[in-house]
Structure 1
Amino acid sequence: MSQGESLTFYTYARVDEGRDDSWAYTGIPDIFFSDEDGAREALRELRADVESDNEEWPPMQLEKIETLPISKDSILALLNDGMGAFMKSYAILEIFD
């Protein structure tokens, strides 16, 4: 990986329109994927598991994240301030109701 390269990752999270900081720690670990298909498949599997346990499915959103260019400063921001400080862009791709 060359210095200055931005990276793209995918993840999912509960839909929570009332949350101001989408990257604040909630007690549930974030899981990131290198491609959209992998994240989408993991979300489908999670939904199947929840529904097979006869639990209510909370709406979830599939998210795309692009990082800041990789540098010593951006990695320090990630380590010291969390994911929000390391993001260049963020988009919700789809909501799974």
Structure 2
Amino acid sequence: MSQEPSFTFYTYSAATEPEEQRWAYTGIPDNFFGDVHSARAAVLELRNDIIDDPDGEWPRMHIEKIETLPVSKDTLLAFLNDGVGAFIKRYEIVETIE
């Protein structure tokens, strides 16, 4: 019997967001990346855009590593019906960008 695969992705969020609410649906989509370097590049680009705006205020941002549950019909249904949080097996903050 084969084990369904799980996957590792990276994303980011404002460091001010309470951890217990991290995966709650807010209507604002998360961006996911296949590696930490791509996630970091996206955060740095976002930071440069905000810093260039005279009214912009940069919040500290966390780069996060997530591991999904093994992919199965049930876990995909949980993802579709309940959002990303229902599909996450493990979550870790790997870096904070000031």
Q: TM-score, normalised by structure 1?
A: 0.90
| SS class of match (1:20) | helix
- Which position in structure 2 is the counterpart of 1:69? 70
Cα shift readout 1:44-71 (whole Å, capped 9, x = no counterpart)? 0000000011211011100000000000
Cα distance between partner residues in 2 of 1:16 and 1:72? 34
Cα distance between partner residues in 2 of 1:6 and 1:96? 27
Cα distance between partner residues in 1 of 2:27 and 2:74? 27
| Pair 1:59 & 2:96 matched | no
- Which position in structure 1 is the counterpart of 2:7? 7
Identity %: 57
- Say whether the 8 Å CA contact 1:6–1:69 is kept in structure 2: yes
Q: Partner letter of residue 82 of structure 2?
A: D
Structure 2 residues not aligned, in runs of 5+: none
Q: TM-score, normalised by structure 2?
A: 0.89
Aligned residues: 96
Q: CA deviation at 1:94?
A: 0.8
- Which position in structure 1 is the counterpart of 2:89? 88
